[in-house]
Amino acid sequence: MSFSGFVGRDDAKLALVLNAIDRRCGGVLFLGEKGCGKSTLARRFRRLLPRGVPFVELPLNATEEGLMGGIDLEKTIREGRRCFQPGILSRAHDGFVYIDDIHLLPVEILALTLNVQGRGENLVEKEGLTLRHAAEFQLLASMDPAENFLPPHLLDCFGMAVVWGKITEAAQRAAIVRQAMPDLFPESPEAGRRDRVLAERIGVARSRLAGMKISAGVEDCMAGKCLESRMAGHRGDVFLFYAARAHAALMGKDRVEPADVDAVTPLVLNHRRRQLPPENEPEQSEKREPRPPPENNPKDQKSAAADRQSHPGGDNQGDEKTLPEKRESLPMEAVFESGEPFPLRRFHYRRDRIKRGSSGRKIKSLSRDKRGRYIRSAERGLDGDIAIDATVRAAAPLQRLRGGDGRLVIRPGDIRYKRREKKVSHLAIFVVDGSGSMGAQRRMVATKGAIQSLLLDSYQKRDKVAMIVFRKDRAELVLPPTSSAELASRCLRQMPVGGRTPLSAGLLAAHDLVRRMGRREPGLRFLVALITDGRANHCLGGATPEKEVSKIAGLMRELPSTEFLVVDTENKAGLIRMGLAGRLAAQLAADYCRVEELESDRLISWMQSKKKNESEAESLRR
């Protein structure tokens, strides 16, 4: 099947072609749902590459040994000296490595792959062997954006990224079906010919690269675009330059022009933007909204306005000019800085751990724990958790010396133990009401404070934190699961609030996140904190918001290894009290507290107590 005959997806094809022209373009990441042809296109791309250019697929079950290389057992035993067996990456030099469903690849394998790619060389120092070989390759990968847990610094490693949007146009969909069934709808020989022409064109373009000149203004234009995207580091500049140069070469030009830069900018820069441009959504939709909930009363508005004034820069909408009356009828959008003062109590989790560790209980409970994924072997480890493969490898070179007559002789010194990965034990998910109702700022500040404390103090960084904000018509995962205080601070620096209250969307997002993370990391436990007044005024489907909330709450209650806390933000001094959050807590069998209590580090102590209970229950079970 041909590359040229692939229906649509011109940007994806352009990205691949540019990478075929110049390997310095840095590879491509495809973001798209399952079954939209990402792997098909990547594999067809092989047809454009000159004979001999490696195209290696990295299987998701690849081990570190398989990836980087390790001991060749058979040869080592036979020859009585350590022999090396090269890994997958050794075959990739000067070519491409393709990873399908990169989000499913174990993080440490991905980190190793990217590390090798970044240095352009593979260096292995293990089991008495040193191996160093060139490994300059481009990564092609596909990912389901719904599973987007790739942290930004890993995304940045890709030279380009292409989003595969939904194709709804009937004729195009029909063409896709046709091309997917070549038995029924044979491809015209014309497509194959076009592939050959394209391959030739790529070859010609490649030969143009060296002599390519740069028009005036191109460098300035590139630097401007990179600065504006506020991306991290300088790799983006470099990728942008090479992509623009390859584009100019493809177009048969002998100099790079600003038009070339423009043509490749979305491919290179979109996934690097760290600060999205301010939302310029039309406010019309907001204006048509019904009056905000009653607790949006003038008194609170006044205090909120006072708060805003005392923290200039915390408000990006410039709404100081807006009259208070108008403000009341309009759920405002505002952004609160993470630097808002919040009386943070230090989280004394660390001391607690050490104490329990010294009593021996924690250590004991760990020593019997053989759960977790076997990632590599070590010479010291848990009794009985022997890594057979590594033990045999260690014994292999000594077999001739030991003269086992064809039987394997293993001495105690050969024994290797399994190192298992169980880094994450808890994921704390904060689900926060970001709507324009009263106290939005307070909720945000309190939640950010709690997230900061959790991340700064969680011992050994076993714990991760995520944050979902629901506002307007949707819920957004504003902070993907992370243990990095740095990343959290960056993601939470700006947090827009305002709009309606799609509580059910928030709940559903939390539900999905628990399910997905549970699949990814079995054994992970979840703490879900819902910070809301329980009111919903926007729903996902056709039912009433209340019905939807209780239905999803019922689903959530069934989630395994998940504990809930509802933090009620309803103004209890207000005239109308609905007590909706209390009802939600009952539906979820959740713990309940009021937002006033939250400020006395209730969130953290709750998390702490839940964890303690669990670890105690666990050690009792043993």
Partner 1 sequence: MIFPFTAIVGQEEMKTGLILNVIDPSIGGLLIMGEKGTAKSTAVRALAELLPELEAVEGCRFQCDPGGKLCGECQEKNRMGGPLPVAHRKMRVVELPLGVTEDRLVGTLDMEHALQKGEKRFEPGLLADANRNFLYVDEVNLLEDHIVDLLLDSAAMGVNTVEREGVSFTHPARFILAGTMNPEEGDLRPQLLDRFGLCAQVVSVREKESRMEILRRKAAFDADAGRMAAAWKKEQTELERRIKEAQTALPSIQPGDDALEKIVKITAALSLDGHRADIVMMKTARALAAFRGKTAVEAGEIRDAAALALGHRMKRLPFEEMGAQAEKMRGLLDGI
Residues that bind partner 1 in the complex, under the rule CB under 8 A: 24, 64, 68, 80-82, 108, 111-112, 115, 118-119, 123-130, 151-153, 156-157, 210, 219-220, 222-224, 226-227, 231-238, 241, 338-341, 344, 376, 378-380, 397-398, 400-401, 413, 419, 449, 452-453, 456, 461, 483-487, 489-490
- In the complex with partner 1, the residue whose CB is nearer, 43 or 400, is 400
Is the CA virtual torsion 579, 584, 587, 588 positive or negative?
negative
Q: What residues pair up with 97 in beta bridges, in sequence order? A: 56, 139
State the minimum distance, in angstroms, from the CB of residue 164 to partner 1. Answer: 25
- In the complex with partner 1, the residue whose CB is nearer, 70 or 436, is 70
- In the complex with partner 1, the residue whose CB is nearer, 330 or 394, is 394
- In the complex with partner 1, the residue whose CB is nearer, 39 or 494, is 494
Tokens of residue 603, six digits: 């969130």
Q: List own/partner pairs for 177-185 with CB under 8 A and 24 or more apart.
A: 179/1, 179/5, 179/6, 179/7, 180/37, 180/40, 182/1
How many Å apart are CA 171 and CA 117, to the nearest integer?
Answer: 40
* φ/ψ of residue 234, rounded to 5: -115, 5
- In the complex with partner 1, the residue whose CB is nearer, 46 or 213, is 213
Closest CA to 56 of 43, 44, 69, 40: 43
- In the complex with partner 1, the residue whose CB is nearer, 485 or 552, is 485
Q: What residues pair up with 84 in beta bridges, in sequence order? A: 71
State the minimum distance, in angstroms, from the CB of residue 495 to partner 1. Answer: 14
State the minimum distance, in angstroms, from the CB of residue 158 to partner 1. Answer: 12
- In the complex with partner 1, the residue whose CB is nearer, 202 or 226, is 226
Q: Side chain identity at 474, as an amino acid letter?
A: R
State the minimum distance, in angstroms, from the CB of residue 300 to partner 1. Answer: 24
How many Å apart are CA 116 and CA 205, to the nearest integer?
Answer: 28
State the minimum distance, in angstroms, from the CB of residue 130 to partner 1. Answer: 7
State the minimum distance, in angstroms, from the CB of residue 443 to partner 1. Answer: 18
* φ/ψ of residue 374, rounded to 5: -70, 115
Per-residue CA distances from 12 to 285, 348, 360, 608 (Å): 34, 50, 56, 47
State the minimum distance, in angstroms, from the CB of residue 582 to partner 1. Answer: 31
Sorted by sequence, the CB contacts under 8 Å of residue 520 that are 6+ apart come out as 149
- In the complex with partner 1, the residue whose CB is nearer, 81 or 302, is 81
State the minimum distance, in angstroms, from the CB of residue 406 to partner 1. Answer: 18
- In the complex with partner 1, the residue whose CB is nearer, 231 or 581, is 231
- In the complex with partner 1, the residue whose CB is nearer, 323 or 401, is 401
State the minimum distance, in angstroms, from the CB of residue 558 to partner 1. Answer: 33
- In the complex with partner 1, the residue whose CB is nearer, 97 or 510, is 97
How many Å apart are CA 410 and CA 579, to the nearest integer?
Answer: 68
State the minimum distance, in angstroms, from the CB of residue 109 to partner 1. Answer: 10
- In the complex with partner 1, the residue whose CB is nearer, 314 or 499, is 314
Other Cβ atoms closer than 10 A to 598: 25
Q: What angle, rounded to 10 degrees, do the helices at 545-557 and 503-520 form?
A: 20
How many Å apart are CA 218 and CA 493, to the nearest integer?
Answer: 33
Do the beta carbons of residue 240 and residue 225 sit within 8 Å? yes
Do the beta carbons of residue 250 and residue 212 sit within 8 Å? no
State the minimum distance, in angstroms, from the CB of residue 282 to partner 1. Answer: 32
State the minimum distance, in angstroms, from the CB of residue 279 to partner 1. Answer: 24
Tokens of residue 22, six digits: 């110049």
Per-residue CA distances from 262 to 160, 165, 187, 268, 348 (Å): 14, 21, 34, 10, 52
Q: What angle, rounded to 10 degrees, do the helices at 218-229 and 258-269 form?
A: 20
Closest CA to 427 of 462, 453, 381: 462
Other Cβ atoms closer than 10 A to 549: 26
State the minimum distance, in angstroms, from the CB of residue 390 to partner 1. Answer: 9
Q: What angle, rounded to 10 degrees, do the helices at 349-359 and 602-621 form?
A: 20
Tokens of residue 97, six digits: 């490595």
Closest CA to 1 of 214, 234, 278, 188: 188
* Rg from Cα positions in the chain: 28
Q: Side chain identity at 272, as an amino acid letter?
A: R
- In the complex with partner 1, the residue whose CB is nearer, 81 or 291, is 81
- In the complex with partner 1, the residue whose CB is nearer, 300 or 421, is 421
DSSP 3-state helix, strand, coil percentages of the chain (rounded to 5)? 50, 20, 35
State the minimum distance, in angstroms, from the CB of residue 561 to partner 1. Answer: 23
